[in-house]
Amino acid sequence: MAELPEIIIFSRQMDEELRDKEFDSVDIVQEKILNMGPSEFAELIQGKKVSNVYNKGKWIFIELSGNYHLLLNLGMGTDLFYHSKGQEWPKDYQIRFSFTDETGFSCRFWWIGRSELVSNKELLEHKATKDIALSPLDSDFTLEHFKKLIKGRSQIKNLILNQRKIGGIGNVYIHDILFKAKIHPQKLANEVEDAQIEDLYGIMIENLSDALDKGGLYYEKDFYAKEWGFTRDYFLVAYNEEKPCPVCGTTIEKIKTGSTSSYICPQCQQL
């Protein structure tokens, strides 16, 4: 699943490649990923130009001329591929966009994804994105800001995964972040000590920046269909159940934490 590092990379690549391109047409295979009827969608996007691409949490925001945004959500994973002029299109896709210069891009959502066209006015009230919180790699995401979020009787893992509190972290990077901070995923937020919160803050940013530097998670591909460089060798406890903890040698466990699974070292991360 694409998380913050992958979404940032996509946004950067798309911004660089697509700026000033003008939409010519759209080929829609799966209508339910849209927020309107397919003909309305196609008509609205035609002639609009890309002015900027950025991300908000796990959503990609493609700012268009005419006061519109095209919003993409990659769900559990997506082949989101650029198409250069003359290149063969991928066979499988749910939607593909063509520009007037005969380049384009296509999306094949693995499970569920969204492709929504909203006016800038509608964007202010757009349910899925309007409350997305600051992401750890945003410059305003300070330690003070983070400290204010870590409170109450929520389990710490659920709190970090809550997109209304912290944007961009899903159920992949979280395992090693909590492991490095020596915090059990089910520990209640108000029981995490101040020093641990400070550690957690630094580790979270460091971990996500590192994944960004390495080019994102290996099991997905970038905008140019190139594999990303954060391979499973970099995981410490994540997806390593039954293997020894890299710090103390205790066997790593996979446990149920509400609707998600977690990988922990029961010795290093005690409740």
The binding site for Zn ion (CB under 5 A) comprises 245, 247-248, 250, 265, 267-268
Sheet holding 95-99, edge to edge: 23-28, 95-99, 104-109, 78-83
Strands (E) across 158-252 are located at none
| Smallest gap from residue 252 Cβ to Zn ion (A) | 8
| Smallest gap from residue 268 Cβ to Zn ion (A) | 3
b or e along 138-162 (b: 16 or more beta carbons within 10 Å of the residue's beta carbon)? Answer: eeebeeeebeebbeeebbbbbbbbe
| Smallest gap from residue 243 Cβ to Zn ion (A) | 11
Nearer to Zn ion, 137 or 247 (CB): 247
Q: How far apart are the first and last CA of the chain?
A: 28
Nearer to Zn ion, 30 or 250 (CB): 250
| Smallest gap from residue 261 Cβ to Zn ion (A) | 18
Task: Quote the CA–CA distance of 234 and 211 in Å, as a whole number.
Answer: 9
Q: How many residues does the chain have?
A: 271
Task: Quote the CA–CA distance of 145 and 159 in Å, as a whole number.
Answer: 14
Residue 99 CA neighbour count, 13 Å, CB half: 19
Nearer to Zn ion, 19 or 243 (CB): 243
| Smallest gap from residue 189 Cβ to Zn ion (A) | 22
Nearer to Zn ion, 145 or 254 (CB): 254
| Smallest gap from residue 250 Cβ to Zn ion (A) | 5
Nearer to Zn ion, 95 or 236 (CB): 236
Alpha helices (H) along 100-193: 120-123, 127-130, 143-149, 156-161, 174-180
181, 268 Cβ separation under 8 angstroms: no
Nearer to Zn ion, 209 or 267 (CB): 267
